[in-house]
């Protein structure tokens, strides 16, 4: 299998520092929060698949729902004038979950990149219908990650994900993220930094011309960029600025929706109602490629009241509203609610965060510890704490490899060690992750 993988697969996203990806770790089985590989290692998956396997790998109700749906109606889309009963039932559930956030309608996709693309496209349509066709630009955060399609890549804040594909969508601009450890303002106080970043957003809007901007897109907690939670004033500040300038707010919750931050959504975590909320990943617990863009009621009404025909300009996918995905998502939401998964994410996330802070007391190589908002945490590693020099690739690779042998799979990205374990994690599982990291750091 290892040889065949090398000759017949392409792994463009394998990070060079990722020792487990070079060559790829071949996963052959998974149960609960643990995976097994081809060499017989069994480890806690502290990456949770790719931030998506919130309920672990043996969620019986989702498996049963998928099997039953395959028997009854394996496929019909919501693309061209049709719907299906499974997806209508799911929509009513999503409406129940997200109505407190003002989000009442769902549009279905096949994953996170599709959800982002949908929100960007719908944002432009929205302004066209309202006679503001000049509102075409998008603003986003540096260090934000919004997927791989051309629109999403254009708003990605990390140049590594953009440059190879340029020219990208015109009119996309990035403002500094509220990243306390490193920022252009040299400001380490989170509240003050949030105000500086908001001022930078105001400046960019003034520079571009508010009436040329369609939407601002952000992750409520930056994920792939290194788990960067903003100060609590930041997202409400963004909401206020967007509203004042007629700019739509797109919350990219592909990671944060469905409990990861300890709330049902990252937006709710910060008390913000976005205009669009992009979801995917954990909506089916990783069991089916599926996503939903939740749309605010007042935005949906603009589309419905359209007299210009702009709303009739096609947008949809062959797999929009896939009934098997819908059945998986329905079962997943029911389990998430029954097990009160967001609450466990908050408790276990606090435990993991405390443990990581304790490791930072012990090991100078840990420059920054980020977490405290559910089960998404990161360590930023440095070779010199005072100078904040990023650690070299070989060292972070060694840490990852030793931790894996000691029982936990973590992700490395640049100088960051990222953890996003399943939300059903137990206190004992948290200890396994911490102990594996401890052994990894001791080995450096």
Please give the residue ranges that form the binding site for ligand PMP (CB under 6 A).
111-113, 116, 145-147, 219, 223-224, 252, 254-255, 280
**Residue 50 vs 200, nearer CB to ligand PMP:** 50
DSSP state letter for 255: T
Q: Which residue is nearest to ligand PMP (CB)?
A: 112
Count of other CB atoms within 10 angstroms of residue 170: 8
Count of other CB atoms within 10 angstroms of residue 176: 19
Least Cβ distance, residue 152 to ligand PMP (angstroms): 6
Angle at 193 between CA 191 and CA 197, to 5 degrees: 120
Longest CA span, the chain: 66
13 Cβ contact partners less than 8 Å away, ≥ 6 residues apart: none
**Residue 112 vs 230, nearer CB to ligand PMP:** 112
DSSP state letter for 238: H
How far apart, in whole angstroms, are the C-alpha atoms of residue 165 and residue 103? 33
Least Cβ distance, residue 370 to ligand PMP (angstroms): 16
**Residue 279 vs 336, nearer CB to ligand PMP:** 279
Least Cβ distance, residue 279 to ligand PMP (angstroms): 10
Closest CA to 274 of 233, 236, 234, 329: 236
**Residue 227 vs 366, nearer CB to ligand PMP:** 227
**Residue 278 vs 366, nearer CB to ligand PMP:** 278
**Residue 286 vs 440, nearer CB to ligand PMP:** 286
Least Cβ distance, residue 69 to ligand PMP (angstroms): 21
Least Cβ distance, residue 103 to ligand PMP (angstroms): 17
The per-residue DSSP string of 178-213 comes to --SSS-TT----HHHHHHHHHHHHHHHHHHH-GGGE
Least Cβ distance, residue 27 to ligand PMP (angstroms): 18
């Amino acid at each position: 299998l290892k040889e065949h993988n090398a000759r017949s697969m392409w792994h463009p996203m394998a990070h060079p520092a990722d020792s487990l990806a070079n060559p790829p770790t071949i996963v052959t089985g998974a149960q609960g929060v643990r995976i097994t590989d081809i060499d017989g290692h069994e480890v806690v998956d502290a990456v949770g698949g790719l931030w998506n396997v919130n309920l672990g790998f043996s969620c019986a109700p989702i498996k049963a729902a998928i099997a039953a749906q395959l028997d009854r109606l394996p496929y019909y889309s919501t693309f061209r004038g049709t719907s299906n009963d499974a997806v209508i039932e799911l929509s009513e559930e999503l409406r129940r979950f997200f109505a407190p956030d003002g989000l009442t309608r769902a549009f279905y996709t096949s994953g996170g990149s599709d959800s982002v693309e949908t929100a960007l496209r719908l944002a432009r349509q929205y302004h066209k219908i309202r006679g503001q066709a000049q509102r075409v630009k998008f603003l986003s955060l540096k260090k934000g990650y919004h997927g791989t399609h051309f629109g999403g890549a254009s708003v990605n804040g990390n140049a590594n994900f953009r440059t190879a594909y340029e020219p990208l969508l015109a009119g996309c601009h990035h403002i500094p993220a509220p990243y306390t450890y490193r920022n252009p303002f040299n400001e380490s106080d989170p509240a003050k930094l949030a105000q500086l970043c908001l001022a930078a957003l105001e400046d960019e809007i003034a520079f571009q011309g508010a009436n040329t901007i369609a939407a601002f897109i952000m992750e409520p907690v930056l994920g792939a960029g290194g788990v960067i939670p903003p100060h609590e004033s930041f997202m409400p500040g963004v909401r206020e600025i967007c509203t004042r300038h007629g700019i739509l707010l797109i919350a990219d919750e592909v990671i944060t929706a469905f409990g990861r931050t300890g709330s049902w959504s990252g937006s709710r975590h910060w008390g913000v109602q976005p205009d669009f909320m992009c979801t995917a990943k954990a909506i089916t617990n990783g069991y089916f490629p599926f996503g939903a863009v939740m749309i605010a009621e007042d935005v949906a009404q603009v589309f419905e009241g359209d007299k210009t025909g702009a709303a009739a300009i096609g947008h949809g996918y062959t797999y929009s509203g896939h009934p098997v995905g819908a059945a998986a998502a329905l079962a997943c939401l029911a389990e998430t609610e029954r097990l009160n998964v967001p609450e466990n994410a908050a408790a276990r996330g606090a435990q993991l965060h405390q443990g990581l802070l304790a490791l930072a007391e012990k090991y100078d190589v840990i420059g920054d510890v980020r977490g405290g908002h559910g089960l998404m945490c990161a360590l930023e590693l440095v070779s010199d704490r005072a100078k904040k020099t990023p650690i070299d690739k070989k060292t972070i690779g060694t840490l990852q490899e030793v931790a894996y042998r000691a029982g936990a799979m973590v992700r490395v990205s640049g100088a960051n060690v990222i953890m996003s374990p399943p939300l059903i994690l137990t206190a004992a599982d948290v200890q396994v992750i911490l102990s594996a990291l401890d052994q990894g750091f001791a080995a450096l």
